[in-house]
């Protein structure tokens, strides 16, 4: 009985960067979820606003990533197997997260403020 191992392959850069990108996104989502779960009627105004800004930043990050996917859909598919492109994709995700966070801090969309006002109203009753 011979064992055919011809179909096996090792972990390549693509698999690693895809895994790392998924872990980063899951960590970001879990952090937002954890922060929001910790807020209650005893939270200070600063804690509530911080949680709301964190949610707005995560929301913008998801919007930016979906916008980027729509542009990537038009790219040449033959270049997607290049490990360098996968590394660029990994760092692009981190850059998008940083831009979303900075956008929330500098100007924002007003989502954090609306959430904050709603949470304050609900916690006071």
| Alpha-carbon span 2 to 35, nearest angstrom | 54
Q: Does residue 103 carry a pLDDT above 80?
A: yes
CA angle 12, 13, 16 (to 5 degrees): 90
Min mean pLDDT across 31-35, 43-47, 75-79 is at: 75-79
For residue 44 the two structure tokens come to 């200070």
Residue 31's CB is within 10 A of a number of other CB atoms, namely 12
Nearest residue to 61 (alpha-carbon basis) of 20, 110, 28, 106 = 28
Residue 55's CB is within 10 A of a number of other CB atoms, namely 19
Confidence of residue 34 (pLDDT cuts 50, 70, 90): confident
CA atoms within 13 Å, Cβ hemisphere of 103: 18
Highest mean pLDDT out of 12-21, 49-58, 115-124 = 49-58
What is the average per-residue pLDDT within 94-113? 90
| Alpha-carbon span 110 to 90, nearest angstrom | 29
| Alpha-carbon span 69 to 53, nearest angstrom | 24
Q: Does residue 25 carry a pLDDT above 90?
A: no
Which position has the higher pLDDT, 64 or 74?
Answer: 64
Please enumerate in sequence order all residues whose Cβ is within 8 A of that of 9, keeping only pairs 6 or more positions apart, or say none: none
**Eight-state DSSP code of residue 101:** H
Q: Does residue 28 carry a pLDDT above 70?
A: yes
Q: Does residue 81 carry a pLDDT above 70?
A: no
* 30: helix, strand or coil: helix
> Residue 75: its pLDDT value, please?
66
């Amino acid at each position: 009985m011979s064992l055919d191992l011809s179909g096996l392959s090792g972990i390549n850069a693509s698999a690693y960067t895809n895994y790392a990108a998924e872990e980063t996104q899951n960590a970001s989502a879990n952090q937002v979820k954890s922060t929001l779960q910790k807020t209650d009627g005893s939270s200070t105004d600063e804690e509530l606003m911080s949680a709301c800004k964190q949610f707005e930043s995560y929301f913008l990050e998801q919007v930016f990533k979906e916008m980027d996917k729509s542009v990537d859909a038009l790219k040449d598919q033959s270049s997607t197997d290049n490990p360098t492109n996968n590394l660029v994709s990994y760092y692009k995700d981190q850059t998008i997260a940083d831009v979303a966070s900075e956008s929330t801090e500098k100007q924002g969309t007003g989502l954090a403020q609306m959430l904050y006002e709603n949470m304050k109203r609900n916690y006071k009753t």
